[in-house]
Structure 1
Amino acid sequence: MKKLEKILLISVFLYSAFPTFAQKASWIWYPGDFDIYMSNVMQNRRTERGSFFPVFWKMDSHYVLVDFHKEFNLAQAEAVKLFVEGTYNVKIDGQAISGFPKTIQIPAGKHKLSLKVYNQAHVPAIFVQGKTIVSDETWLSTFEDKEWIDASGKTSDKSGTTFLSAGSWNMTDPQILPSQFKLPTVPLSAINKANINNGYLSDFGKETFGFIKIHGLKGKGKLNIYYGESREEALSTEKCETLDALDIDLSAKRDSVMPLSKAFRYVNFQPENGVSADSISMLYEYAPVTERGSFRSSDTELNKIYDVAKYTFHLNTREFFIDGIKRDRWVWSGDAYQSYLMNYYSFFDAPTVKRTLLAQRGKDPVTAHINTIMDYSFYWFLGIYDYYKYTGDQKFVQDIYPRMQSLMAYIDGRKNKNGLLEWMPGDWIFIDWADKLSKDGEVSFEQLLYARSLETMALCAKLANDAEGASKYNQQAKALKDKIFELYWNQNKSALVHSRINNQQTDNVTRYANMFGIFFDYFTPEQKLAVKKNVLLNNNIAKITTPYMRFYELEALCAMGEQSYVLKEMKTYWGGMLALGATSFWEEYNPDKKGAEHLAMYGRPFGKSLCHAWGASPIYLLGKYYLGVKPTAPGYESYTIEPNLGGLEWMEGKVPTSNGDISIYCSKKEIRVSSATGTGTLKIQSKTKPIAKGVEIKALTKGFYEVKIEKGKNYSIKYTA
């Protein structure tokens, strides 16, 4: 890099020399740009057997020229330091300062500070630090200022420019440029080593993720490193999914770290003659999220399932929520939607939700569904409203609403003559990995997600103060819901049929639309009971073998009060993986498979991911349907607690919120609750009226009671299960 470019890129001032400031600054950029940039960086790290493996969809880029500004009213003059990633100019009250200043003086009074930054290679970003003037998300930004100048040289004061609040990842060190962002690492060692051929096989004890570090590497020749989530994969030098093939030419010993992170439990280290190394270890790479949610119960196997689910989820929580750490490492919308829900009951890390939603959506114009998958566009909409429901962050909804409008306009433009969606060139209808699952015709599952997305659009339009849009989307949603039941409900089968072809219902009934209809609350009470009996509990309906859709199937059953049944299913399904030695949960599990069959997928012997985010769904199910906590107003301003032991003797745990945790203990005789937020309603089913000192217990119908939960108080209630 040329000397001048280095000077323009980063200030020469040392932050350590700064005085102590009253407010903390952060790097900022145009909203969504760094999310898009970093998702491009992360997703394009994918390799298969050393070959670059790019994504299947359009990748957008950041805006290369961005204007930032904020108005301040200073009681006294202030010195402000500027750090910029890119070429820039600075203006105070519209007057440019010559050169590329690193420190500026802003006089007392009301003033407007503006910086315009150009950067083709990286995201234009600024870091501004004064005593009271700091860069944060209250700054405004635009990628086109639409300014004009008249014949007198006067700059317009009515340009029609759209300004949005700046984006930030809370990067508070001005010496570390946003483009240099990396997740932290810690060193770890293998727990076992066995000699294999010219080298050895190292076992790190469980599924993990990071960079292999070679200690004391020396010699001239080739070095091959084969990675495996299983022992079989690491030993299969011809078929393992990931590897490093290196040419070594070192006369003296040197430590070397592999350039790309990998997922593995086993590492097959094979140097050729002439190459040697003292040992290998790893740098474990992780997202520094806080584990806030918890669950423990009388069932030790269930506790193990919860712990492994949380570990699985943490491994797949990186710069964004990704699908799996071995193979794709991409930001798939369907996978991420489930991760959001698990996140609300574990880390409650709102920034990772926002950055994932922004990265998935990218820029206008819309030319395809998100990830090219029709259902994945709909999950994206649902994820935004769920984010608002759990966090109460209306501003994010308002900021992203225009991107919601343009994506929905694209989808509305792809309806057929019946006003329904079906496959068109360029679409991928996914639904689930399942043999012989038809995607032909007008699939009911897609129409159901479409209706829910229109309802979401109406809710978000209201939050964005778009009354006309709210009315339009509400009307569309109601019309589509009516059409779904008119065209797909089969009275004889007591279920929604899977599809229509040539304007006729097919005979096929699958679980997908029917289970979503339950927790979307689209069915009447009678229809719910019929669907539960004739679909969900009917072994003649094709079973689901992926944790991805088991997530929704078990949620539907929990919503119908079948926690005892679901508990047995969790122990059978996730417990089945543990019985086979799983240390993280898989992309797919079929108990009918044997041995190495469990490792195969996509026609490859080791194609299956053994650490997949959608395998961690017990986190969500146990938090929402066993501990029983869910918000009834945005940000847990109000919420319900409806514990359901489901056959357990006792359980306890914490559910995190933006303002603190909600703690629950429940046995067959006592419920204890404390909360740091909102106003809750504890719902109790008891054979006799519950007893609690100094607590009002409201009787509803026979056997059902309610208790108001106020924040900061501890409740202990005796009841009869």
Structure 2
Amino acid sequence: MAFTFQINDDVNWNHDEKLLKKAEENLPEIIETTVVPVAIADVVADQKGANGYVAKISDKNITKLADYTLGRDESIVLDLGDHYVGHFTLAINSVGSPMDAPLYLQLKFAEVPAEIAAKSSDYDGWLSKSWIQEEYIHLDVLPATLSLPRRYSCRYIELKVIDTSPKWKASFSQPVFTAESSVSMNQLAPYEIDDPELKDIYNVSVKTLLDCMQTVFEDGPKRDRRLWIGDLRLQALANYATFGDLALTKRCLYLFGGMTTEEGKVPANVFTAPELIPDDTFLFEYSIFFAAILADYYYETKDLEVLKDLYPMAKKQMDLAMKLVDDEGRLNLLEEWPAFIDWSNEFEKDTAGQGTMIYALRRFIIIAKVMEETAIETYERVLADMIHFSREVLFDTKEQQFIVEKNHEINVASQVWMVLAEVFDQEKNSEIMTTTVATQFPITGIATPYMYHHVVEALFLAGLKEEAIILMKNYWGKMIDLGADTFWEAFKPEEPDFSPYGSPIMSSYCHAWSCTPAYLIKKYL
């Protein structure tokens, strides 16, 4: 099964206004920070950079920006010095003869230099072109101050004059980017890391998290800008280890708990504008991870009010999921409720899905005991059945690896999720992950930091600390080598130019599920 667009027009939704009111009570104030460009950049082809481009500091001086007048087909690239999310303003004037024609201006906002080089007219992917961060603007009268209404996620801003007239040119000055986030770097406690490479990875992951923390934990501030459960689970863990913004996690939990289907299922994601809207997309492990997120939050806070408010929704996710577990303890996934696991379609996800169910069920049982659940024995029996089936049917004793039952496929995701689910003890998990490293590394065919996070954590959990550090450096470290200021939505080390959408102009280069090295480093090192 693979993730695809879902259209479920017949879904009826329940809105629990009491829970949604609590979500709004935890709406954060957005912190605004004024950022001015630090340099003018030249974007040049270079295979050392992401998608074959790098930005080099130009000979032009940013303090003399107004002197570099632009006419037809001329452009200049501003470098903010780091990745930011926010709004942009710019003063524009005309220089030369009287302004006898409007200024026709194109602005491009780029997270990586390759987006400046890419042409939106060439994009023919499956996501909407409307996400491309570019604007075409006519200005009839200059001087003027241009204040763009959209919010952008970027480091680089290209100002390109499509046309003026032969009689005059455009002059630009006072560029200001107002960066926005619900948290500040000032909230971070000092944290020393001796390893310089791990220190860089930690810092970039924290910046990634900060830029994704807006009025909710966004998945990507450039594109989607939505609250997804899969991202939320990882963002919350990274947040606990860094900024400690418990109110934002609480808000996001209430948003999901307050909007469920008539049968009680939580959506995979929600929209917050123009109003609160649940999406008609449902992913198996995302639904059951609601219980895991609630358990993590309670472990962190001991907030019994939140647990009491949202426990019924967590219980419903597990009850719905248990209907897919047969008497042998086998999870039977549905086409309309697929497991995501990773963007990649190159491996079967059934066994990994079984692992996510065991993982979530373990965590649900912890909070169920706190809530004095009367049916606790039912959940414990299903958990025991699923573990037994996994050990007896899905584990190949000869290969020392978990298999996919229908075709005996062995893949990394199956091993990782069964280890995270603690189907065996640590000693056995160590043997499994040692075999995985020996037979399936270097990893290929996995496309997301979301899945790589779970691989690294499984290595740590199995006691393979050195292997976990090496993988972290080879994956997140390689993004930094390619110029990353924040970590990306999708990345294949064996195919550095990979995009799920076929173009860097659509890829998200600041994405929530890639922020977890901060959590991994602080928890395991």
TM range (shorter): 0.7 to 0.9
Match of 1:612 in 2: 511
Identify the match of residue 484 of structure 1 among 390, 394, 401.
390
- Residue pairs, 1:570-589, within 5 angstroms: 570-589=472-491
Asked if 1:473 corresponds to 2:369, the answer is: no
Asked if 1:460 corresponds to 2:375, the answer is: no
Match of 2:157 in 1: 267
Q: Highest relative contact order (Cα 8 Å, sep 6+), 1 or 2?
A: 2
CA deviations over 1:112-137 (Å, ceiling 9, x no partner): xxxxxxxxxxxxxxxxxxxxxxxxxx
CA deviations over 1:564-594 (Å, ceiling 9, x no partner): 3333333333222222222122223333336
Distance apart, 1:61 and its partner CA: 8.4
Match of 2:116 in 1: 234
Distance apart, 1:491 and its partner CA: 1.2
Cα distance change, pair 356–217 in 1 and its aligned pair in 2 (3 A): farther
The CA RMSD measured in Å over matched residues stands at 3.2
Match of 1:105 in 2: none
Match of 1:67 in 2: none
Asked if 1:353 corresponds to 2:353, the answer is: no
Distance apart, 1:170 and its partner CA: 5.7
Tell whether the 8 Å contact from 1:312 to 1:616 is kept in structure 2 after alignment: yes
Match of 1:508 in 2: 409
CA deviations over 1:273-310 (Å, ceiling 9, x no partner): 34946333211111135533443233222222211121
Asked if 1:329 corresponds to 2:231, the answer is: no
CA deviations over 1:211-264 (Å, ceiling 9, x no partner): 121224787354322222222212334258523434435535332321121111
Match of 2:494 in 1: 592
**Residues of 2 paired with 1:419 and 1:328: CA distance?**
36
Tell whether the 8 Å contact from 1:226 to 1:237 is kept in structure 2 after alignment: no
Tell whether the 8 Å contact from 1:510 to 1:541 is kept in structure 2 after alignment: no
The amino acid that maps onto 1:512 is: A
Cα distance change, pair 454–539 in 1 and its aligned pair in 2 (3 A): closer
The amino acid that maps onto 1:363 is: T
Match of 1:204 in 2: 80
**Residues of 1 paired with 2:517 and 2:469: CA distance?**
10
Cα distance change, pair 395–536 in 1 and its aligned pair in 2 (3 A): farther
Asked if 1:214 corresponds to 2:100, the answer is: no
* TM-score between both structures, scaled by the size of structure 1: 0.57
Identify the match of residue 538 of structure 1 among 436, 439, 450.
439
**Residues of 2 paired with 1:182 and 1:255: CA distance?**
27
Q: Report sequence identity in percent.
A: 22
Tell whether the 8 Å contact from 2:91 to 2:172 is kept in structure 1 after alignment: yes
Question: Which structure has the bigger radius of gyration?
Answer: 1
Distance apart, 1:266 and its partner CA: 1.4
Tell whether the 8 Å contact from 1:217 to 1:256 is kept in structure 2 after alignment: no
Match of 1:493 in 2: 399
**Residues of 2 paired with 1:165 and 1:210: CA distance?**
26
**Residues of 1 paired with 2:362 and 2:469: CA distance?**
32
Distance apart, 1:482 and its partner CA: 1.9
Tell whether the 8 Å contact from 1:204 to 1:265 is kept in structure 2 after alignment: yes
Cα distance change, pair 338–276 in 1 and its aligned pair in 2 (3 A): same
Give secondary structure in 1 for the equivalent of 2:141.
strand
Which protein is richer in helix relative to its size? 2
Asked if 1:310 corresponds to 2:206, the answer is: yes
- Residue pairs, 1:398-413, within 5 angstroms: 398-413=308-323
Match of 2:260 in 1: 363
CA deviations over 1:294-351 (Å, ceiling 9, x no partner): 4323322222221112111111122222222222222121122111111111111111
Distance apart, 1:396 and its partner CA: 0.8
CA deviations over 1:121-180 (Å, ceiling 9, x no partner): xxxxxxxxxxxxxxxxxxxxx85xxxxxxxxxxxxxxxxxxx879626667xxxxxx8xx
Match of 2:430 in 1: 529
Match of 1:568 in 2: 470
The amino acid that maps onto 1:587 is: E
The amino acid that maps onto 1:448 is: G
Identify the match of residue 393 of structure 1 among 303, 326, 336.
303
Tell whether the 8 Å contact from 2:266 to 2:287 is kept in structure 1 after alignment: no
Tell whether the 8 Å contact from 1:452 to 1:477 is kept in structure 2 after alignment: no
Cα distance change, pair 315–388 in 1 and its aligned pair in 2 (3 A): same
Match of 2:55 in 1: none
Give secondary structure in 2 for the equivalent of 1:167.
helix
Which protein is richer in strand relative to its size? 1
CA deviations over 1:35-55 (Å, ceiling 9, x no partner): xxxxxxxxxxxxxxxxxxx99
The amino acid that maps onto 1:327 is: R
The amino acid that maps onto 2:418 is: G
**Residues of 1 paired with 2:238 and 2:331: CA distance?**
29
Unaligned runs of 5+ in 2: 42-67, 95-100, 124-130, 269-280
Tell whether the 8 Å contact from 1:340 to 1:353 is kept in structure 2 after alignment: yes
Asked if 1:450 corresponds to 2:352, the answer is: no
Match of 2:187 in 1: 291
CA deviations over 1:525-580 (Å, ceiling 9, x no partner): 55223202222443468545532222122222222333233333333332222222
**Residues of 1 paired with 2:19 and 2:74: CA distance?**
59
Tell whether the 8 Å contact from 2:88 to 2:148 is kept in structure 1 after alignment: yes
- Residue pairs, 1:34-113, within 5 angstroms: none
CA deviations over 1:616-675 (Å, ceiling 9, x no partner): 22211211111xxxxxxxxxxxxxxxxxxxxxxxxxxxxxxxxxxxxxxxxxxxxxxxxx
**Residues of 2 paired with 1:450 and 1:556: CA distance?**
16
Asked if 1:376 corresponds to 2:376, the answer is: no
Match of 2:277 in 1: none
Give secondary structure in 2 for the equivalent of 1:500.
coil
Match of 2:522 in 1: 623
Cα distance change, pair 389–534 in 1 and its aligned pair in 2 (3 A): same
**Residues of 2 paired with 1:247 and 1:542: CA distance?**
45
The amino acid that maps onto 1:511 is: V
